[in-house]
């Protein structure tokens, strides 16, 4: 639930509740005051009657006053009554029941006792109260609606910096070297949030950068010792007196150094791609590049008896030449390395590039396909980095790659270059 | 002819000198920036092998010095950094070649020979080895005086072997030289054998001896057959 909705729910409920209670109290108070006023009037009437009787010793004439009714009743015996009450009485003139406030009192006139009823209609006052209440409720409703909209606008405006911050955060990438820039705000809390976020993110970026640099530096530093080992082995194989056994040992060491070297190159390449060192792009004639690659692989395919079928259309893409070359290289290497004796490779270049090869008779697990060092088919020299590199190049260049398996043993990699030109 | 190896890693420097040094070449070494500058101020070299990352200075500065005073016929940069920018900058400043560490000594040797040949034998660019004659300008190979049709790969292979004559060249070095080092081959070098076999066949066809010796599955050695 949105903060605004949550706030409104609480705000409106409590406002309505308070207003209702207020209304009720207002109504009761108003009613109390009005009735008190009527009572005062009735008491004045009573006093007037009593004064009149005291002075003239006979009952006063009943004067017709609007909404006031007076009646006298002779009593058989003396009785003391003096009370004020509310009741409903049938009013002949109006021919309906109406609410009245009545004062009832007894008094003696020349030894005879009389009961006087003076009633005042409460209709008018009730109508007044009703009008006042209606006006009050209308005002309350108006206030509620206005507050709702004001809150809506004001809150939205108040929270704007927060949403700005969120938007900036959403665009944040750890691999970006630029520091995050949040919009300035004059709300202290949000400013504080921005400061805290800026610090945390720049720290994360720095750490990430350090890590990346570490990978790159470590790979660079490894090159020289590798060069020494390789050069020593190159010298060692010159020895004419090596036995077959010794040659085998040297060959194993030689192969291991080669693999180490390739692994190091791959890690370095991955680090460089992530460090965006290949941002320069040109328009590449993919068909031509692919044909060059095919001629390079031809000998390899011939020696492994792999049947290659190609169907290449003209296609130009935008990308980094070096990276696209590696991309093709790794896909073709992959199709070759994981192929079977007397297998096949089909290469189709239309709007996208499709490389299909025969291979193992079950699908590769896509979850691990592009993960580093998760080679599902461990062979010497295969560290599972080839496809990671493919994926990184795709990400860096805006291409997408997809893998598909179809029975019995056909693996397909498809590269979609999108409208990358 | 003298070759100067400017490389701070002594063991690598020693390997290079041992591999390149023979009756034709004398190698000298410099392990740091200052001794390198001193050496190039005193002598002229046929080829200088230059490491860019020296402890007390940049190899690129040395390169400028070499070029300014015309101290060498050719310069090969060797660097641990496989950076395209460095490579372009190095070649622009006047280096003839750029090799990333680690490299095969046979590759370095082939490049040194290529540079020296290019600079020293202008016009008459022919390599002779026993019964073989390779015309580098025409890219033609004569065996016992007769022109032999070689495929492009066979020609490159022969040139590589001749550049490393009397040395054992590993299969992976040959594969990298001929097919590029980006190809992930998974240690399967069977396809090299096809080309070796074809070369041998052509030597024998023209009545020349088989100069290519297999060395225990490690690689090949191009040399005169033992009597």
CB atoms within 10 A of CB A66: 7
Beta carbons within 8 Å of B106's beta carbon, 6+ residues apart: A234, B19, B160, B163, B164, B167, B169, B170, B173, B177
Residues of chain B contacting A343 with CB distance shorter than 8 Å: none
Q: What secondary structure does DSSP assign to A191-204, as a single string? A: HHHHHHHHHHHHHH
β partners of residue A249? none
The SS3 assignment for A41 reads helix
Asked if the interface predicted TM-score (ipTM) of this complex is over 0.95, the answer is no
Q: What is the CATH number of domain B2-120?
A: 3.40.50.2300
Q: Do A299 and B191 touch (CB under 8 A)?
A: yes
Distance CA B52, CA A39 (A): 112
CB atoms within 10 A of CB B18: 16
pLDDT in tens, A43-93: 998 998 889 988 988 888 887 777 788 888 888 888 888 889 988 888 777
Distance CA B158, CA B210 (A): 12
β partners of residue A403? A413
Q: Do A235 and B15 touch (CB under 8 A)?
A: yes
Any A CB within 8 A of B24 CB = no
Closest-CA residue to A333 (of A285, A386, A291): A386
Distance CA A382, CA A330 (A): 11
Class of domain B126-222: mainly alpha
Residues of chain A contacting B223 with CB distance shorter than 8 Å: none
Any B CB within 8 A of A228 CB = yes
Contact A99, A86 (CB under 8 A): yes
Q: Do A337 and B15 touch (CB under 8 A)?
A: no
Q: Do A235 and B106 touch (CB under 8 A)?
A: no
Q: Do B182 and A326 touch (CB under 8 A)?
A: yes
CATH code 1.10.287 region(s) in chain A: 189-274
- Least CA distance to B177: which residue of chain A? A296
- Mean pLDDT calculated for residue range B11-35: 90
Q: What is the pLDDT of residue A375?
A: 55
pLDDT in tens, B70-109: 877 789 999 887 667 778 888 888 899 999 888 999 999 9
For the stretch B49-63, what's the b/e string if a residue is b when 16 or more beta carbons lie within 10 angstroms of its beta carbon?
A: bbbbbbeeeebbebb
The CATH number for A189-274, chosen from 1.10.530, 1.10.10, 1.10.3720, 1.10.287, is 1.10.287
Q: What is the pLDDT of residue B21?
A: 85
Of the candidates A226, A297, A299, which has its C-beta nearest B102's C-beta?
Answer: A226
Q: Do A380 and B101 touch (CB under 8 A)?
A: no
Residues of chain A contacting B16 with CB distance shorter than 8 Å: 231
Of the candidates A234, A255, A322, which has its C-beta nearest B19's C-beta?
Answer: A234
Choose the mutation target among B19, B27, B53, B102 for the interface with A, i.e. most A CBs under 10 Å.
B102
Question: CATH classification of A282-416 is 3.40.50.2000, yes or no?
Answer: no
Q: What is the pLDDT of residue B16?
A: 94
Distance CA A144, CA A354 (A): 65
Choose the mutation target among A227, A260, A282 for the interface with B, i.e. most B CBs under 10 Å.
A227
Beta carbons within 8 Å of B156's beta carbon, 6+ residues apart: B177, B178
Contact A119, A142 (CB under 8 A): no
Written as six digits, the tokens of B130 are 């026993």
Distance CA B67, CA B94 (A): 7
The pLDDT profile of chain A, 421 residues, written as one tens digit per residue, is 777 788 888 888 888 888 889 888 888 898 899 889 989 999 998 998 889 988 988 888 887 777 788 888 888 888 888 889 988 888 777 788 888 889 999 888 888 888 988 888 888 878 888 888 888 888 888 988 898 888 888 888 888 888 889 998 888 887 777 778 888 888 898 999 999 999 999 898 888 888 878 888 888 888 889 999 999 999 999 888 888 888 889 988 988 898 888 888 888 888 888 877 788 889 999 999 999 989 888 888 888 889 999 999 999 998 999 899 999 988 998 888 888 888 999 999 988 999 999 988 888 777 777 777 765 555 444 556 888 889 889 988 889 988 888 878 899 999 998 865 5
CATH code 3.30.565.10 region(s) in chain A: 282-416
Q: Do B179 and A255 touch (CB under 8 A)?
A: no
Beta carbons within 8 Å of A244's beta carbon, 6+ residues apart: B216
Contact A405, A364 (CB under 8 A): yes
Residues of chain B contacting A251 with CB distance shorter than 8 Å: 216-218
Distance, CA of A84 to chain centre: 67
A381: closest CA of chain B, how far (Å) = 5
Closest-CA residue to A290 (of A318, A323, A332): A332
Q: What is the pLDDT of residue A383?
A: 56
Distance CA A388, CA A273 (A): 11
Residues of chain B contacting A232 with CB distance shorter than 8 Å: 11, 15
Residues of chain A contacting B31 with CB distance shorter than 8 Å: none
Q: What secondary structure does DSSP assign to chain B, as a single string? A: -EEEEE-S-HHHHHHHHHHH-SSS-EEEEE-SHHHHHHHHHH--EEEEEEESEETTEEHHHHHHHHHHHT-EEEEEEEES---HHHHHHHHHHT-SEEEESS--HHHHHHHHHHHHHHHHSSS--EEEETTEEEETTTTEEEETTEEE---HHHHHHHHHHHHTTTSEEEHHHHHHHHH-TT---TT--HHHHHHHHHHHHHHHHTT----EEEETTTEEEE-PPP-
Strands B53-54 and A307-312: unpaired
Distance CA B152, CA B140 (A): 10
Choose the mutation target among A218, A231, A331 for the interface with B, i.e. most B CBs under 10 Å.
A231
CB atoms within 10 A of CB B167: 21
Residue B17 has pLDDT above 60, yes or no: yes
Q: What is the pLDDT of residue A59?
A: 85
Chain A stretch 1-40, residues whose beta carbon is closer than 8 A to a beta carbon of chain B: none
Beta carbons within 8 Å of A1's beta carbon, 6+ residues apart: none
Q: What is the pLDDT of residue A231?
A: 93
Q: What is the pLDDT of residue B124?
A: 63
Written as six digits, the tokens of B121 are 């034998």
Q: Do A220 and B81 touch (CB under 8 A)?
A: yes
Any A CB within 8 A of B12 CB = yes
Residue B160 has pLDDT above 70, yes or no: yes
Distance CA A302, CA A336 (A): 11
DSSP-derived letter for residue A276 is T
Distance, CA of B65 to chain centre: 24
Give the DSSP H/E element, type plus range, for residue A91. strand A82-91
Alpha helices, DSSP H, located in A237-277: 244-274
Q: Do A251 and B183 touch (CB under 8 A)?
A: no
Q: What is the pLDDT of residue A379?
A: 47
Q: Where are the domains of chain B?
A: 2-120, 126-222
Phi and psi at A157, nearest 5°, equal -70, -40
Q: Torsion-angle region of residue A398: left (phi > 0), alpha (psi -120 to 50) or beta?
A: left
B119: closest CA of chain A, how far (Å) = 27
Distance CA A339, CA A410 (A): 10
Q: Do A300 and B188 touch (CB under 8 A)?
A: yes
Q: What is the pLDDT of residue B186?
A: 55
């Amino acid at each position: 639930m949105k903060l605004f909705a949550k706030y409104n729910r609480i705000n409106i409920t409590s406002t309505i509740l308070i207003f209702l209670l207020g209304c009720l109290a207002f109504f009761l108070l108003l009613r109390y005051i009005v009735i008190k006023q009527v009572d005062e009037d009735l008491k004045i009437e009573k006093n007037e009657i009593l004064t009149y009787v005291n002075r003239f010793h006979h009952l006063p004439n009943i004067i017709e006053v609007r909404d006031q009714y007076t009646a006298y009743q002779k009593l058989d015996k003396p009785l003391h009554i003096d009370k004020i009450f509310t009741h409903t009485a049938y009013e002949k003139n109006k021919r309906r029941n109406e609410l009245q406030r009545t004062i009832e009192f007894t008094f003696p006139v020349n030894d005879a006792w009389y009961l006087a009823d003076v009633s005042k209609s409460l209709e008018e006052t009730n109508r007044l109260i009703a009008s006042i209440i209606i006006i009050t409720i209308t005002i309350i409703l108006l206030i509620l609606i206005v507050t709702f909209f004001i809150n809506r606008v004001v809150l939205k405006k108040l929270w704007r910096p927060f949403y700005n911050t969120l938007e900036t955060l959403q665009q944040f990438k750890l691999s970006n070297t630029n520091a995050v820039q949040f919009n300035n705000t004059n709300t202290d809390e949000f400013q504080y949030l921005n400061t805290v976020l800026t610090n945390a993110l720049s720290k994360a970026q720095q750490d990430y950068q350090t890590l990346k640099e570490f990978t790159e530096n470590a790979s660079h530093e490894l090159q020289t010792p590798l060069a020494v080992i390789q050069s020593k082995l190159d010298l060692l194989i010159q020895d004419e007196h090596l036995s077959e056994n010794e040659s085998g040992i040297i060959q194993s060491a030689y192969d291991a150094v080669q693999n180490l070297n390739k692994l190091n190159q791959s890690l370095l390449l991955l680090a460089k791609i992530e460090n965006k060192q290949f941002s320069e792009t040109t328009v590449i004639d993919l068909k031509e590049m692919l044909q060059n690659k095919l001629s390079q692989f031809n000998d390899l395919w011939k020696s492994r008896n792999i049947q290659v079928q190609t169907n290449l259309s003209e296609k130009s893409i935008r990308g980094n030449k070096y990276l696209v070359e590696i991309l093709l290289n790794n896909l073709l290497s992959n199709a070759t390395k994981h192929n079977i004796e007397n297998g096949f490779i089909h290469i189709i270049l239309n709007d996208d590039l499709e490389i299909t090869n025969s291979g193992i008779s079950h699908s590769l697990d896509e979850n691990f396909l592009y993960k580093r060092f998760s080679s599902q088919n461990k062979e010497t020299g295969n560290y599972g980095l080839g496809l990671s590199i493919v994926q990184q190049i795709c990400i860096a260049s805006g291409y997408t790659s997809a893998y598909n398996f179809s029975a019995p043993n056909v693996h397909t990699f498809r590269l979609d270059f999108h409208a990358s030109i | 002819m003298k070759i100067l190896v400017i490389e701070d890693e002594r063991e690598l420097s020693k390997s290079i000198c041992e591999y390149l040094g023979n009756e034709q070449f004398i190698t000298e070494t410099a392990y740091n920036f200052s001794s390198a500058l001193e050496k190039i101020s005193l002598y002229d070299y046929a080829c200088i092998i230059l490491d860019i990352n020296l402890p007390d200075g940049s190899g690129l500065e040395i390169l400028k010095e070499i070029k300014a005073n015309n101290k060498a016929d050719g310069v090969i940069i060797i660097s641990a950094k496989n950076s395209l920018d460095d490579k372009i900058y190095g070649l622009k400043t006047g280096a003839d070649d750029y090799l990333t560490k680690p490299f095969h000594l046979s590759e370095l040797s082939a490049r040194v020979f290529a540079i020296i040949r290019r600079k020293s034998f202008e016009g008459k660019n022919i390599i002779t080895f026993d019964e073989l004659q390779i015309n580098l300008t025409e890219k033609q190979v004569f065996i016992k005086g007769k022109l032999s049709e070689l495929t492009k790969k066979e020609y490159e292979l022969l040139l590589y072997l001749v550049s490393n004559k009397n040395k054992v060249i590993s299969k992976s070095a040959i594969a990298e030289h001929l097919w590029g080092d980006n190809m992930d081959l998974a240690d399967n070098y069977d396809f090299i054998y096809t080309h070796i076999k074809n070369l041998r066949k052509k030597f024998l066809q023209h009545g020349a001896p088989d100069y290519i010796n297999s060395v225990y599955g490690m690689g090949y050695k191009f040399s005169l057959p033992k009597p």
